[in-house]
Structure 1
Amino acid sequence: MDERDAALDAAHQAARDFLATLPDRPVWPRASVEEMTTALGGPLPQIGRPAPDVIRDLAARADPGLVAIPGGRFFGFVIGGTLPAALAADWLVSAWDQNSGSSAMTTATVALERIAGEWLLEILDLPRGASVGFVTGAQVSNFVCLSVARHALLRRCGWDFTLKGLTGAPAVRLVVGRDRHGSIDRAARFLGLGEADMVVIDSDDDGRMRPDALARTLPDLPDAATIVCLQAGEVHTGAFDPFAELIPIAKSHGAWVHVDGAFGLWAAASPRLHALTWGVDAADSWTTDAHKTLNVPYDCGMAIVRDPADSIAMFRAGGDYLMYTGLDPWDVTPELSRRARGVPVWAALASLGREGVEALVDRLHRNARRLERGLRAIPGVTVVCAPDFTQVMFRLDDDDATQELGRAILREGTAALTGAHWRGRAVLRCSVSSWVTTDDDIDLTLAAIARLTSPAVV
C-alpha cells in the first residue's frame, strides 16, 4: 500500500509538471516514434523496480514524444483538451477499477453513466428515453449504430438475424454522402458491407448532402433494407447536412437514418448555433464523441439509439450468470468488460451545467471565427470556407507551397494543424476544439502562419 501511494504521488507530480509546460512546449512532438522506441525500449528487465521509480522514469523518458494536445494551440484533427473535472474524474475511474457493464454489480458508476446519458439527450435535444451506449470513440459508435440499424431493418423484412445470420438475408443498402467521414466506410467493412453495397449521394460545395439528389436516388434503389447516413459537421468544412429536408425524404422510403455527429451534434447545446441541427432529432440513431467538443479524456464515444429495444435485440449476450436487471450497459454496446468511461462525461456536465456547455460551444465557434478573420488578413492565404462551427480550412495558391507550409508549422512548433485535400486541392485544416484556447493562442498561431508565409521565409 505504501508503494501504491508513492506511485500515485509520483504520477500526480509528473502530470502537474507536464501540464505546467503547455504554454511554452512545442505543440508537435520533438522526437520521432523510432527515437521514442529507442528511448523507452530495450530488453525486458530481468528484475523489476519500485513503482514510483518506474513512473518518474516513464515521465522523463516519454517527454520528448508527447504532443501538447491539452494546450490551447493544438488544432489538428478534431481533438479537444480535457476539462479539469473530467480529468480528475478519469483518475478516479482508474482508481475505482469498476467493471461497468453490469447494473447489478457496479451500481455507482452505472448510475453515473445513466444520468450522464439523460443529461446528454437533454443538452443535444434528442429523444428522451433513447439508449446511450458509452464506447471507445466515434468509430465504434458508428459501428454500433449501423449494427443496430441492420438488425432492426432485417427484422422489419421478416428476417431473424439472431437466428439465421446473414446467409441468405435480404440485401442491406447503405446510402452515404460524397463527403462522409471515413469511419462510416470502415464501420461498413466491420459489418461485412463493401463499396458495392453503398450508394453515394452528391453533396454541395461545402460537403452537405443534396436533398434533390437523395430524392432522385431512393426510388431507383433495388428492393433492399436501406440505411441513410447523414452528417453533423463535415470534418473539413464543418458543414451540417440539411436534416429537416433529408430525413423526411429518407423516412418516406422506409429508411433507417443514422447521423454521424462526432463533434457537430454539440452545436445543439447553443441557442446561437442550434439551427445547424434543426430536424436531427427525427433520425433513428446518432454518433457523438465527448473527447471532441465536450473536452473529456479519450475513450468516450456515445452510441445513441432512439428505441432501446433495437439496441438490446442486437447486443444482449445471454448467460444467466451475468445478472441481468432489465437494461444493462452491456445490452447496448459490444463490450461486456469495460472501464466506467461515462463518468468523466458526468463530471464535465456537472461542472459546466447547461450554461457552461453553451458557453463552451459558443467559445469554440467564436475562436474559429477569430482564426478565420486573421487568416483572411494574411497575404497569399485563401480561406476555403467560412466556419459554420469549429472547422477552418485554408490554402495557398500553390499545392506544394500549401503542403510545405503544413510541414513548416509543425516544425516551428507554435501550433499544430493538419493537411488534407479538398476538391482536388491541397488544404490545411484547423479544428478549434479545446476549452483552453484563448485569443492569445489564436493570435500566436496567426503570427506563426504569417511569419512562415512571408516572402523572406518562403
Structure 2
Amino acid sequence: MADPLLDRDIAAAALAQVCAAAGPYVEALAERPVHDPAAAGSLAGIGGPLPEEGTGTTAAVDRLLAIGTATATASSGPRFFHFVTGGTTPAALAGDWTAALLDQNAFARVSSPFAHEVETVVLGWLRELFGLPAGWGGALVGSATFANFTSLGCATQWWGERHGADTVRDGLSGLPRMAVLSGGYVHASARKALQMLGHGRDAVQVCARDDVGRVDLVGIERRLIALDGAPAVLIANAGEVNAGDFDPVDALAELAERYGAWLHVDGAFGLFAALSPRSAHLVRGIDRAHSIAADAHKWLNVPYESGFALIREPGRLGTAFGMPGAAYLPGPRDPGGGYGLHGPESSRRARSLPIWATLTAYGRQGHRAMVERHLDLAQHLARRIDEAPELQRLADVPLCIVCFRVAPPGVPDEDLDRWNRAVGEALIADGRVFCGTTVYGGRVALRPAIVNWRSTVADVDLFVDVVRELAARTRAEP
C-alpha cells in the first residue's frame, strides 16, 4: 500500500462507513444480547502477523466494523448490569465523535484554547450539578482511579506541608507513613491510587463495625486521638459497590474538622445521588470535603474514559501536578498553561466535549429525571426479587444496586455459594443479560447495577426471568 498521505482523500468515505454501521448498531442495542457466544469465533479475524503491505483504509475499516459489531460486549446497552457501567446518551456519543474529529491536545490553553474553555465550563457545571460552593475547581481525568489519584495526590501535598516538607520536590523519604483512615467500604481504586503515590496499597487503616464494612466512627476517632495532632486523611465512600450503601459523609466531615484531617470522598457513582431530592441526603456533607472523586462514564452516561476530581482548594492541583520546567512548555502559572498541569496526564484528549454535550442537551432536570428513573427501577427489581421464593435480597436498596442471591428454602448454606457462582458464570456465558458475582457479608451474591439511560422495566424483568431460569438449570446440572 502507498504512503498513507496519498490515501487522504478517502477519509470522508471511511467516516461514512462508520456512520453507516453506527445507526443499525445503536438501534439494535435495545434488543440485542449483551454478549453473543456464537460470534466469539470471529475474534480470530483480528489477529495474525503484522501486515507487511496494508489492505487500505476501506478494507481495514470494513473488517474492524464487521468483527467489532458482532463481538463487542454491548455494555452501552440497557441489559448490561455488571460492574457499574453507564451507557452513552446520543448527545454524549456525538460529543465524543467530535472530540475524535477535532483531535485536540487539551494539555494547555496554548495547545487548544477551545478545549481549555470547554473544560473550564464543564468543571464549573459539574460543581453546580452537585451543589458545591463557588471556588471549587478540579480536573478531568480518565477514570475514578485517576480521580482518586489526583485527589489523594493533593492530600499528600497537604500532608507534607503539615510536616514542614515539600513532597512534590523531595518525595516521601524521611517522613512517617501517612495515616489514611476509612470504613470497610474503601474501594480497590483508592488503594491503587495510594499504591501509585508511594504510600502503599495497605496504607488504609480500616475501621469497620461489621463484616459488611459499615464504618466505625468511634474507631476512627480513637485513631485520630492517638495521632496526637499529626495530620491524617479520611476517606468517605459515597456508594459502596456491592449494595450501594453510603458512609455518613457529614459525620466524617465533623471528625475531619475537629481533628484537622483531610476528607476525601470517593463518589465514583454515588455522588450522583446529589441530583435528586429523593437521594440527596445520602451525600449530605460533601461540601465540607477537601476532595471528591467520581466517574462521568458511570451515571452521567458519557463514553469511556471519563472521570473527574473536584478540589476545594484548586490551587493545590498546580502545586501537586505541575511539571518540572521545559523551555517549550508553559508552567503552572503561565497564562498559556492549563489542565495538563492540574492532574496526572499531560497529553490529554478533549474529554470535556461529551460532558458538555450531554449537560447542554439534557440539563440538570434531564439528568435528575434519569437518576430518579433508575431509583424506581432498582426498587422494582428489589420487589421482583422479594416476590421470588428462590431469591433472597441481602441488603436494603438506597440507590441503584440490588444485592441478592439464589437461596431457595431447604438448601444448605454450604451449597449456596457454589450455586450462586455457577449462576454468575451462566449469566456471562448466556449473554442475554450481564451481571457478575461478588461476596457480600461473606456470602456469594449477584449485584446488578442500574445506571444506563436506556434501561427499562422490561429489561429489569428480563434480568430476573433469566436469573431464575439459569438458577433452575444450574441446580439441575450434576
TM-score above 0.5, yes or no:
yes
1:368 to 369, 373, 378: 378
1:3 counterpart residue number: 10
- Residue 433 of structure 2 aligns with an amino acid whose one-letter code is A
**3-state SS in 2 of match to 1:185:** helix
Contact 2:340 2:348 in 1 (8 A): no
**3-state SS in 1 of match to 2:37:** coil
Identity of aligned residues (%): 35
Residues 138-157 of structure 1 mapped to structure 2, 5 A cutoff: 138-157=144-163
**Could you tell me how far apart the structure 2 residues matched to 1:166 and 1:321 are?**
29
2:127 counterpart residue number: 121
1:19 to 15, 26, 30: 26
- Residue 464 of structure 2 aligns with an amino acid whose one-letter code is L
Cα–Cα, structure 1 residues 326 and 44, in superposed 2: closer, same or farther, change >3 Å?
closer
CA displacement, residues 293-339 of structure 1 (integer Å, 9 cap, x when unaligned): 00000011001111111111111113353233176112211122110
- Residue 240 of structure 1 aligns with an amino acid whose one-letter code is F
Cα–Cα, structure 1 residues 394 and 456, in superposed 2: closer, same or farther, change >3 Å?
closer
Number of matched residues? 457
Cα–Cα, structure 1 residues 435 and 203, in superposed 2: closer, same or farther, change >3 Å?
farther
Contact 2:265 2:291 in 1 (8 A): yes
2:289 counterpart residue number: 283
Cα–Cα, structure 1 residues 12 and 325, in superposed 2: closer, same or farther, change >3 Å?
same
1:446 and 2:452 are equivalent in the alignment:
no
**Could you tell me how far apart the structure 1 residues matched to 2:147 and 2:335 are?**
24
Bigger CA drift: 190-199 or 75-84? 190-199
2:424 to 394, 400, 406: 406
**Could you tell me how far apart the structure 2 residues matched to 1:81 and 1:197 are?**
34
1:73 to 76, 79, 85: 79
**Could you tell me how far apart the structure 2 residues matched to 1:352 and 1:195 are?**
39
Question: How far 1:451 moved relative to its partner?
Answer: 2.3
1:54 counterpart residue number: 60
Question: How far 1:289 moved relative to its partner?
Answer: 0.4
**Could you tell me how far apart the structure 2 residues matched to 1:299 and 1:291 are?**
7
CA displacement, residues 137-191 of structure 1 (integer Å, 9 cap, x when unaligned): 0011111111110111211221122332222134311112212111111111101
Question: How far 1:50 moved relative to its partner?
Answer: 2.3
Q: Unmatched 5+ residue regions in structure 2?
A: 1-7, 408-415
Contact 2:14 2:57 in 1 (8 A): yes
Residues 368-407 of structure 1 mapped to structure 2, 5 A cutoff: 368-397=378-407, 398-407=416-425
- Residue 177 of structure 2 aligns with an amino acid whose one-letter code is A
CA displacement, residues 415-434 of structure 1 (integer Å, 9 cap, x when unaligned): 11110111211011101010
CA displacement, residues 229-260 of structure 1 (integer Å, 9 cap, x when unaligned): 11110000101111111111122111111110
Question: How far 1:213 moved relative to its partner?
Answer: 2.4
2:452 counterpart residue number: 434
**Could you tell me how far apart the structure 1 residues matched to 2:124 and 2:322 are?**
21
CA displacement, residues 206-247 of structure 1 (integer Å, 9 cap, x when unaligned): 643232222222212376431111111000010111111111
Cα–Cα, structure 1 residues 411 and 319, in superposed 2: closer, same or farther, change >3 Å?
same
1:356 and 2:366 are equivalent in the alignment:
yes
What TM-score, normalized by structure 2, do the two folds share?
0.91
1:173 counterpart residue number: 179
**Could you tell me how far apart the structure 1 residues matched to 2:150 and 2:431 are?**
38
Bigger CA drift: 233-242 or 220-229? 220-229
**3-state SS in 2 of match to 1:80:** coil
